[in-house]
Amino acid sequence: MIADVSFAHLFRLSDDIGLFEHALGAVPRREHGYCVDDVARGMVVLAREPDPPFELVRLLKRYLAFVVAAQSPDGAMRNRRDTAGRWRDQPGLGDWWGRALWGLGTVAARAPTLRARDTALGRFRASARRRSRWPRAMTFAALGAGEVLLVYPDHQPARDLLAAAVTAIGPPGVDPAWPWPEPALRYANAAVPEALILAGICLPDEAVLASGLRLLAWLLDLETRGGRLSPTPVGGRRPGEDGEPGFDQQPIEAATLADACARAYDLTGQTRWLTGLERAQAWFLGDNDSVVPLLDTLTGGCCDGLEPHGRNINQGAESTLALLSTAQHARRLLAAP
């Protein structure tokens, strides 16, 4: 079964400023405002939608304007904004900076209008000169740099950023039972091998590419239980913690795995990566450790987490975008011709 790519709930969560971060059930929680983290995720999803209708193009432009407004002259990014349009934090280089670069790079490479592509590429360049001390922020930034290089292979700031991200991620571990370059799995884990795969393609570097594919295969095996996806829970996972399923499981884990498997399949054509994508898609539809769907077919939204005996019924931006992202890959690669 392939889930429909419905943007109904994304429109419900969006207004003239941006994308509301949280929801109570399917109702946006306006009091919590917006964040660049989610708006940038929205840019990625909207930019890669094939033949988008006018309403989605307009929404993409609104999200792009939000991220442009978040950027400081030195390339750092603010993250949080209230419904009056006021920024509630100072510019920084945390995860939101990395995701902003991911969004800008994807829009620069894939947006349906030349103006959006040009704006995003200029803003990407302005922030790509910065470096975050946080490896996951650099990982997200690498995804944007890779998107730029696939279209603009001579873009030196993107190349330098991607190389710096490989260094920030670090080499795989020497223990074959735990080759992960970190002492624990944390969040958005499959973004790490996807960044390495992109670096291997774009720099190019065969050793980095091989490391990315090997880490993705290891992660997919680790997060498969009884033929179904059992993602790393919100508390992370450390060596030896391979007993009972962990909870709360987050949609972002399934979505980043789908992203990485789609990237690996596009590169290699190996069906093992389609199997990973199928497991991620099925996780949203109920083939998971609690045997409950995360997709709400009435709203088009996605529940915020999988719990031992059910699901978190709130349908925030991160979760809904994770569902949409995975459904896009499934529609492109799994749907019958």
* pLDDT tens, position by position, 61-119: 999 999 999 999 999 999 999 999 999 999 999 999 999 999 999 999 999 999 999 99
Residue 223 has a pLDDT of 97
Question: At a CB cut-off of 8 Å and minimum separation 6, what does 1 contact?
Answer: 285
Q: Is 198:190 a contact under the CB 8 Å cutoff?
A: no
Token pair in block for residue 250: 């987050």
Residues forming beta bridges with residue 311, ordered by sequence position = 306
Residue 208 has a pLDDT of 98
Q: Is 20:14 a contact under the CB 8 Å cutoff?
A: yes
- Pairing mode of beta strands 310-312, 305-307: antiparallel
Instruction: Compute how many other C-beta atoms are within 10 angstroms of the C-beta atom of residue 269.
Output: 9
pLDDT over 80 at 242, yes or no: no
pLDDT tier, 335 (very low <50, low <70, confident <90, very high otherwise): confident
Q: Is 81:33 a contact under the CB 8 Å cutoff?
A: yes
Give per-residue pLDDT as tens, 133-189. 999 999 999 999 999 999 999 999 999 999 999 999 999 999 999 999 999 999 999
Residue 2 has a pLDDT of 64
Mean pLDDT in the chain? 96
pLDDT over 80 at 21, yes or no: yes
| Residue 267, SS3 per DSSP | helix
Angle ∠(35,186,260) on CA atoms, nearest 5: 80
pLDDT over 70 at 1, yes or no: no
pLDDT tier, 233 (very low <50, low <70, confident <90, very high otherwise): very high
Question: At a CB cut-off of 8 Å and minimum separation 6, what does 3 contact?
Answer: 281, 284, 285, 295, 323, 326, 327, 330
Residue type, 22: H
Place of tokens 């670090």: 170
The pTM (predicted TM-score) of the whole model is 0.97
pLDDT over 90 at 25, yes or no: yes
With 0-12 CB in 10 A as exposed, 13-18 as middle and 19+ as buried, what is 213? buried
Which of 165, 150, 46, 53 lies closest to 103 in space, CA to CA? 46
Which of 102, 198, 225 lies closest to 110 in space, CA to CA? 102
With 0-12 CB in 10 A as exposed, 13-18 as middle and 19+ as buried, what is 287? middle
Give per-residue pLDDT as tens, 276-323. 999 999 999 999 999 999 999 999 999 999 999 999 999 999 999 999
Place of tokens 């789609």: 262
Residue 318 CA to residue 252 CA, distance in Å, equals 7
Residue 205 has a pLDDT of 98
Rounded mean pLDDT of 263-281? 98
Residue 337 has a pLDDT of 59
Residue 3 has a pLDDT of 66
Residue 244 has a pLDDT of 81
